[in-house]
Every structure is written in C-alpha cells, then in structure tokens.
Amino acid sequence: MVFEYILFDLDGTLTDPKIGITSSVQYALRAFGIDEPNLDKLEPFIGPPLADSFMEFYGFTPEQAKAAIGKYRERFDHQGIYENEMYEGIDGMLSRLKESGKMLAIASSKPTPLVIRVLEYFGIREYFDYIVGSEPGGGRSKKEEVVEEALRLMVPKTLAAKERKARVAMVGDRRFDIEGAKAHGLTSVGVSFGYAPEGELVAAGADCIVDTVSQLEDILMGKD
C-alpha cells in the first residue's frame, strides 16, 4: 500500500520519554504517600491517558486521579518533558516522508501544548501538517477521539471510508493506538521498540508490526 496520510503517536513511537514520565508519576504518587522507587514498574503509564492509569494501577478515584495529574504536571511540565530522547533515525525518516509528498500528523493523548513543546525541542515540528493531542482541561483524552479529530483536519471529506485502509496509516507503540486506528478503519502499524508489553500489539490486531525505524520507513514508503 502507498499511504498518503500518516498519523503518529508521540511517546514510545517517535521519542523515548521514560525517565520524564515515570519520574513525574513517581513524584505524584509520593504526594499520596506511595513510594515507588523502581521506575521500570511505572512504564505502563507511558501511552494511556494519565487518569486511566492512576485509577487502573493504583485504585485512585476520579477525583484522586485528577489531583494526581496536577502533581504530575508540577514536575513534568518544567523538567520531565525534557527528560526525553528521540529514537535514532526518526528525523531522517520524517524528512524523507515529507519529501515524498505525504501528509503527516501527530495523534497523541498528551495535551496539545506539551506535544508542540516536545516537537519543537527536538526540531521536528516542521514535518507535521497537523498536531492533535488531548485538550488541557482533560477533553479528547481517548485515542479514538484524538484520531477522529486528526482525520477531520487532515483527510478530505471526499475520501470514502472504504478507501481509508489503503491510504491512511496510524503508527503507534501501544494497543490504544491500534484500537484508535481500527475504530476509524485505518491501517494500524505497531512499533515494537516502544512500551507495549509482549504480545499486546498482536492481541490488539495490528495490521503490521515493525522492529526498527528503518522497517517502519519501508512500510510507510510502500517498499514492503
């Protein structure tokens, strides 16, 4: 397939945000009297909406989760956001995709202003025609909602739903990305170098799974 429109997740797909995210979760948990010294145990927070993770993994109520996100932001917005690394080869891949005429978008559960800051920090904002994240107030946090908004902005209304599979791809490292793609009839491309637990991308029904940035580029360029 030759994709014309490509949506990318951010965390765990284009960049490795582990230290920044897990350290900020650790900081938030400490405010609730929970000490978690092992950052590896907090990796499941990378990808899903934060509120869902605090409730699922630590049994927080919605009100507690909201307060925990506030504590998380205290650290992340000023320090954790920069404790991040771009995966090797991402810059070159994005450049070549744009040169080939493809339209690119970010579809992330991270708040849009923070997404923009990350892209600018790594000098890759210029490659993206659209940047869609969650709303700062907590709206549009589900990946299906983020993908829907990106498609509204990016894909012509004249593109029939049945054509989306062949012309639009969603790239991500977690099941939420795969589910977001499937909800809107897109081709889902999973990257195994992110933070999905073993078997998660397969179980979610990813159309294809790549192990390297080079393999990802080949798929998106229609070489495979």
Catalytic residues: 9
Are the beta carbons of 90 and 97 closer than 8 angstroms? no
**Given CA atoms 202, 153, 160, 163 in this order, what sign does their dihedral have?**
negative
